[in-house]
Amino acid sequence: MYNDAVLNGDLNRVLGNMRHTDRLCIADCGLPIPDGVEVIDLSLKMGEPSFLAVLDVVLEHFGVEKIFLASETENMNGALYEQLQKRFSATPCETMPHEDFKKLSATCRAIVRTGENTAYANLILQSSCIF
C-alpha cells in the first residue's frame, strides 16, 4: 500500500499520468460533465468533501503552471475567490464566462467532482513541467 500518496486509485492514476500542459478540473457537485471526459466522483454528500480540501490534496502532488476560472467566481463566491488568490498568487490565471469555462472543461483529462455546493466552485489546473 502506498505511503503518503493519494488513496483514491482513480485520482492517483490520473495525477500520475498527467504531462506538461495537460489539464485537470476540480469541480463542485453541479458542474456538467462533458461527454468523453473521465469523471472521478469523490462526492459523499452535500458539502463533503469540500472543494478546497480536494484541491489542497491535489496540489500536494501536482505542479500547476496556469489556472482557469469562471469570471463570475469573484462576485458570486468571494470567499472561495480569496482562497484561490492565496494559493495561486504567483500563478497566471485566465478568467472567462462560466459558459466558456464549461466548454474548456471538455479539454481536461479528468474532472474531479467534489461534494462542494457553493456557486462557481470550479477550477481548471494546467500541469507544469517537472524539470
Q: For the residues of 56-96, what is the DSSP string, one character each?
A: HHHHHS--EEEEEEETTHHHH-HHHHHHHHHHTTTS-EEEE
Q: Average pLDDT, stretch 33-47?
A: 97
Calculate the average pLDDT of the chain.
96
Cα-based distances in Å from 93 to 24, 36, 119: 14, 26, 19
Residue 92, Cα to own-chain centre: how many angstroms? 15
Domain range summary for the chain, segments of one domain joined by + = 9-127
Beta strands at 123-127 and 64-70: parallel, antiparallel or unpaired: antiparallel
d(CA 66, CA 41): 23
* Joined grid coordinates for residue 73: 467566481
Preceding omega of 49 cis (within 30 degrees of 0): yes
d(CA 24, CA 39): 10
Place of cell 462526492: 43
What's the pLDDT score for residue 6? 85
Q: Is the pLDDT of residue 116 over 90?
A: yes
| pLDDT tens-place string over residues 54-106 | 999 999 999 999 999 999 999 999 999 999 999 999 999 999 999 999 999 99
**Any idea which residues carry the catalytic annotation?**
20
Q: Is the pLDDT of residue 2 over 90?
A: no
CATH of 9-127, one of 2.40.40.20, 1.10.10.10, 3.40.50.620, 3.40.1650.10: 3.40.1650.10
What's the pLDDT score for residue 1? 46
First to last CA, the chain: 28
Q: Is the pLDDT of residue 40 over 50?
A: yes
What's the pLDDT score for residue 4? 64
